Amino acid sequence: MMKKSKTIVFFGTDEFSLTTLEQLFNAGYKIIAVVTKPDSKSGRGQKISFSAVKKFALEKNIPVWQPAKISEITDKIKSIEAVPIGILVSYGKIIPESVINLFEPAIINVHPSLLPRYRGPTPIESAIENGDKQTGVSIMQLTPQMDAGAIYNQTVYNLNNAETSPELYKILANIGATKLIEILPAIMNGGLKPIPQQDDKATYCKLLDKKDAWLDFKKVTAVSAERIIRSHLTFPKTKIVINDQPIIITKAHVTDKLKTILDIKCKENSHLAIDELITKSGRKMSAKDFLNGYRLG
């Protein structure tokens, strides 16, 4: 495959970003640098861990930039011989206009929602939690305002109301990467022009917190609770205490009545049955196995 001459600076951090980076690299684009968040400490031992895109970049000998502040890379971008195009996918930091203006024709953002719906950090979780029938991917120009840029392309994905957040992340990552590779030449040569969003139709989603794991089932219906369990499966998860034992619910369904201690009464006299869970020890098991162990104990 012929190498593309346009220089790319890639901004991204997590697994969702990695899919696009891999496809850009495999398509022969010249990626001059990968910009990712600084390394972080995680786990009980507080070991240093770094992002999925950093690992890939190092394996492919692509320079990695990890600025604490985005302004720190301004001179590096200016020093690039050919004015680069930027590709940003789930980077995790706001890019100021002064940096955006260093790219031509723009920094291109892959966002997993049908903008202007779900501007913000959790569009995938929000689509599942709200029981949407459709979601998708928007490829847009980055602006200093959150997810407000003009749109080059949108791809619709129909939901079946059974997807979990990790499943939908993977699906939309592949859709976004594939579509970007398809339309990127037209963006680069100016043949594809972006269309402004309808700001008056914008909706927003919030950043999730660890405290969101503790769901008050008296305040949600069983239908809503089941959706939240699927949408929070990666983070922050859904926790409950059963007979003084904290558990994480990984799978559940709506039921007609209460039968066991793993059936939960919810708002509007609706009921949720837990199908699968993770115990305090970290072991994942079926509701049946948990109940058998509980009886034996």
Average pLDDT along the chain: 92
SS3 assignment for the chain: CCCCCCEEEEEECCHHHHHHHHHHHHCCCEEEEEECCCCEEECCCCEEECCHHHHHHHHCCCCEECCCCHHHHHHHHHCCCCCCEEEEECCCCCCCHHHHCCCCCCEEEEECCCCCCCECCCHHHHHHHCCCCEEEEEEEECCCCCCCCCEEEEEEEECCCCCCHHHHHHHHHHHHHHHHHHHHHHHHCCCCCCECCCHHHCCECCCCCHHHHECCHHHCCHHHHHHHHHHCCCCCCEEEEECCEEEEEEEEEEECCCCCCCEEECHHHCEEEEEEEECCCCCEEEHHHHHHHHHHC
Task: Dump pLDDT digits (tens) for 214-268.
Answer: 999 999 999 999 999 999 999 999 999 988 889 999 999 999 989 999 999 999 9
pLDDT tens digits for range 272-293? 999 999 998 899 999 999 998 8
pTM for the structure as a whole: 0.93
Q: Domains of the chain, with CATH numbers?
A: 7-201 (3.40.50.170), 210-296 (3.10.25.10)
